[in-house]
Structure 1
Amino acid sequence: MKVLIAGAGSVGRSIARDLLEHGHEVLLMDHSPSAMRVAQVAEADWMLADACELTALREAAVETMDVVVAATGDDKANLVISFLAKTEFGVPRTVARVNNPRNEWMYDTQWGVDVAVSTPRIMTAMVEEAVAVGDLVKVFTFHQSGASIVEVTLPPTSPVVGALVREIQWPGEIVLSCIMRSDRTISPSPEDTLEARDELLFVMSAEADPELLAAVLRTPPGATSPTD
């Protein structure tokens, strides 16, 4: 996958390192010479240019990118970068950093933003996770589809603890996408067994009812309703 990251500050460089470790091609772009810390992410391509300018984006061949990440510290710039990437170059996926939570409402498809990442919102979710084991915590929402990712940490008392994934009937429009156990990340298979303190990540459509998922986590697997 080819990724352009606009904004080569600490956030952009961190994203670049992670993507490179996963085998992706990365171009880091920033308009500030002081941000050109090439030695810190030597495996990436670097470009000194303003990603808000069409000429710079054309020079970077943005139309060949699979993803554009607008990771600058300026919300206005991140919106412009996303808008240009989507409307002028048809980039399939845009991810934009939200610096000021008050501006989050603008990060939608009208500005070409597919995924808005708000650090304060993510931190809030992690705090909620730490104090609300067993509760569903929304991590973030995909603006284009309205789908969301939710997390739940299974308490020892959950009736699905000890059950095989194939034994649990998840509600419609809800998919178990990942099991995090200690320092392991598990792609769930039908034969995996859920354990106490597992962190489960679900992808839910906009139409899905989170209360139905919460009910499954409170109801013994395999139990039938009176109408079955």
Structure 2
Amino acid sequence: MMRIVIVGAGEVGRHLGRSLQNEADLILIDPDARELASAEEGLDALTLVGDGTHRSVLRKAEVERADLFIAVTPDDSVNLVSAALARDLGATRAVARVDDPAFYESKRGFESGVLGIEASVCASRLVGVELLRMLAAVRARQVVACAAGRVQVASHVIGEDSPLLAGSRARATTWPEPIRAIVRAGQLRSSAEIEHAELGDVVLMACSPLGLLELLHELTPAAGVMRTTIVGGGDVGIQLAGLLGPRGLLDRLIESDRSRCWSLAEQLHGVQILHGDGTNIAFLREEHVGRVDALLAVTGSDEANLMTSLLARELGVDHVFALVHRPGYAGVYSHLGVSGTASPHETIARVIRGLMPRGTIVGRSSLSEIAVDLVELRPGVADVRVADLPLPPGAIPLVIAGRSIRAPKPRATLAADDVLVVALPGGRVGMLEKALRRKPIGGAA
């Protein structure tokens, strides 16, 4: 069985442990014996009292035997140091939680290769990516996050207002770069094979979360720009506002702390900042919040987010999404009519699950309404060409996600930790598994 070492027995560490305990032998490290005792109550794991930045403690946990090392204490520096030391001592893969956005060189919540660590992950940015996926789903048939959230794949039905239908039949459709597959009459086909778009075609598009939202807006001009209001100017709110605002997709940001409003105004040029209480229905009415298309409740309080969401629904907002800090509360929001929720704990767990060493196939999902399966392949060795992969008939590579997002051209080469997302006609995943057993990549499938 896989061996996983987790440093940090707080809420995030315990949640990770519960989600992974049936798949691996767990060792949980924390300097606080009381935290470990609390974690042991609902967790099948060995525990070790100690400092995760001390090599003696890591050696005692036998990190050299770890398939995966995860550092998720509340201290970014502790997480980076312990993960780097674990890799130096022989852990196969290491992941560090780093929540300070200033640490990252890109706007993504995921960065690989720093200090030899496979992945540094930012909870607030990963949650923001999940909320962007939900906004995109308003304009798409279905949206699936792939490659630890670095890319999203959406299915979208071409409507009468689509610019893809413009022009005469004498001129071939120019497909946007992210559109690499089309489902027509129930058949999955490459966009290179389809000369003209037709009403009712289902296009598959794969790109960055923000790029997907922008493309869906371009393909649905009759729906206009999605007017979105954000309630909460914390880490998640400011990052979402910084992405949506410059692209004209943000109506305003509401924050209850007056001094924080001044700080937000200095950082978010061109974004309307309102000082007010998102749980006050009179304020929301006065600001005509009911006229927006979508609302994101992302304060630091679950109670405030739930109240804001319910009031927004009462005022007529069609699409309401909320940040949920406590694991397991998402079902309550859904029962009360909230369109969707994003949890930092669950988002981190999902991303880390995608980073676990599982062989070549590291992720699977389904676009069930159109009978298409999505498979994520990680070669594990460098310089593998897309054309050399043993893909079954009908398979269509959609996107390569690594340190950058690239088109999966046949001659494109994959780095060891790149992820290739492939679309397969329903029922052919087994064929791919069999092909990988016959012709393994890097010696495992």
Query: Counterparts in 2 of 1:57-96, with a 5 A limit?
Result: 57-87=58-88, 89-96=89-96
Q: Which one-letter code corresponds to 1:117 in the other structure?
A: V
- Does residue 178 in structure 1 map to residue 364 in structure 2? yes
| Counterpart in the other structure of 2:42 | 40
Contact 2:26-2:45 at 8 Å conserved across structures: yes
Taking a change above 3 Å as real, the CA distance of residues 33 and 176 of structure 1, as seen in their structure-2 partners, is closer
Taking a change above 3 Å as real, the CA distance of residues 121 and 207 of structure 1, as seen in their structure-2 partners, is closer
Which one has more relative contact order, counting CA pairs under 8 Å at least 6 apart?
1
Taking a change above 3 Å as real, the CA distance of residues 181 and 50 of structure 1, as seen in their structure-2 partners, is same
Q: Which one-letter code corresponds to 2:42 in the other structure?
A: Q
- Residue 127 of structure 1: CA displacement? 1.7
Query: SS at the partner of 2:152?
Result: strand
Distance 2:47 2:129 in 1: 33
Distance 2:29 2:54 in 1: 12
- Residue 14 of structure 1: CA displacement? 1.0
Unaligned runs of 5+ in 1: 142-147, 194-200, 211-216, 218-228
Deviations 1:4-40 (A, max 9, x none): 000011111111111113x211111111122112112
Query: Counterparts in 2 of 1:148-167, with a 5 A limit?
Result: 149-157=150-158, 160-161=182-183, 163-164=186-187, 167=189
Distance 2:362 2:66 in 1: 29
Deviations 1:22-70 (A, max 9, x none): x2111111111221121121x1111111111111111111111111101
| Counterpart in the other structure of 1:204 | 401
Query: SS at the partner of 2:182?
Result: coil
- Residue 169 of structure 1: CA displacement? 7.1
Query: SS at the partner of 2:128?
Result: helix
Deviations 1:187-221 (A, max 9, x none): 6595899xxxxxxx9542447238xxxxxx9xxxx
Contact 2:6-2:27 at 8 Å conserved across structures: yes
Unaligned runs of 5+ in 2: 106-110, 160-180, 193-206, 208-360, 376-390, 409-422, 424-445
- Does residue 103 in structure 1 map to residue 301 in structure 2? no
Distance 1:114 1:7 in 2: 18
Contact 2:400-2:407 at 8 Å conserved across structures: no
Distance 1:169 1:18 in 2: 38
Contact 1:12-1:72 at 8 Å conserved across structures: yes
- Residue 181 of structure 1: CA displacement? 4.6
Taking a change above 3 Å as real, the CA distance of residues 181 and 28 of structure 1, as seen in their structure-2 partners, is farther
Contact 2:399-2:406 at 8 Å conserved across structures: no
Q: Please, what TM-score do these two structures have when normalized by structure 1?
A: 0.67
Contact 1:49-1:56 at 8 Å conserved across structures: yes
Distance 1:150 1:102 in 2: 22
Q: Which one-letter code corresponds to 2:190 in the other structure?
A: I
| Counterpart in the other structure of 1:213 | none
Q: Which one-letter code corresponds to 2:77 in the other structure?
A: K
Q: For the pair shown, which has the larger CA radius of gyration, 1 or 2?
A: 2
Q: Which one-letter code corresponds to 1:209 in the other structure?
A: A
- Does residue 27 in structure 1 map to residue 213 in structure 2? no
Query: Counterparts in 2 of 1:111-130, with a 5 A limit?
Result: 111-130=115-134
